[in-house]
Amino acid sequence: MELAAGSFSGEQFREACAELQQPALAGADWQLLVETSGISIYRLLDQKTGLYEYKVFGVLEDCSPTLLADVYMDLDYRKQWDQYVKALYEQECNGQTVVYWEVKYPFPMSNRDYVYLRQRRDLDVEGRKIHVVLAQSTSVPQLVERSGVIRVKQYKQSLAIESDGKKGSKVFMYYFDNPGGQIPSWLINWAAKGGNCSGSLYH
């Protein structure tokens, strides 16, 4: 799942926009996991890893699209509210900006860290203003793996946001994360289902 190129394709941004308009759940065994407060969460089993991919659709009332996108991109603000962040910053590597993020895991598990590309575009799609953020794991020689910390090499996320026509935001999110190591897949999936890893959805 590593992204070798320095940026995302226009097609990837268009796909996120399309899901915001019409959820792509046909042709695969997507299961409705949770439906509450206007938010629906679906999951799809990844046969290779035994982990789930997730899609989230819904409306966040009283939160404008621009504010939501700005907060999502604000790494400094995340460090204020996310107690599991040990390190989080952007760094220029080989002419591109990558994000480094180390996550605290409870003893006796090792911390995880991520190196990923992230790009935001504010698009005009047939008169609809849509904020799209794409992120995917990558590797750069400047940020090597460290002893005692497990590097997450399979991470991918897309987010699309537009106005709900009122004061809120219509949102689509796709998410997949394989934390690796010796954590059983059933335990990871249980934690995700229970909401204990919900913070990672705001990568």
Total domains present in the chain: 1
**Per-residue pLDDT at 202:** 47
Q: Per the domain annotation, does 5 fall within a domain?
A: no
**Cα–Cα dist 155/172, whole Å:** 17
- Name which of 90, 155, 163, 99 is nearest 131 in CA terms: 163
Q: What residues contact residue 191 under an 8 Å CB cut-off, 6+ apart?
A: 197
Q: If you average pLDDT over every residue of the chain, what do you get?
A: 85
Does residue 112 lie within any of the structural domains? yes
At 143 the pLDDT is 95
Could you say which DSSP state residue 103 is in?
E
Note down the domain range covering 54. Answer: 10-189
Residue 1 falls within a domain, yes or no?
Answer: no
Burial-class residue 173 by CB neighbours within 10 Å (0-12, 13-18, 19+). Answer: buried
78-117 pLDDT tens trace = 999 999 999 999 999 988 899 999 999 888 889 999 999 9
Residues 133-176: tens digit of each pLDDT = 999 999 999 999 999 999 999 999 999 999 999 989 999 999 99
Residue 197 in domain: no
Taking the model in full, what pTM does it have?
Answer: 0.85
Residue 148, sorted as left (phi over 0), alpha (psi -120 to 50) or beta, turns out to be left
Q: Tell me the CATH number at 129.
A: 3.30.530.20
Q: Does residue 48 sit within a domain? A: yes
- Provide the pLDDT for residue 187: 53
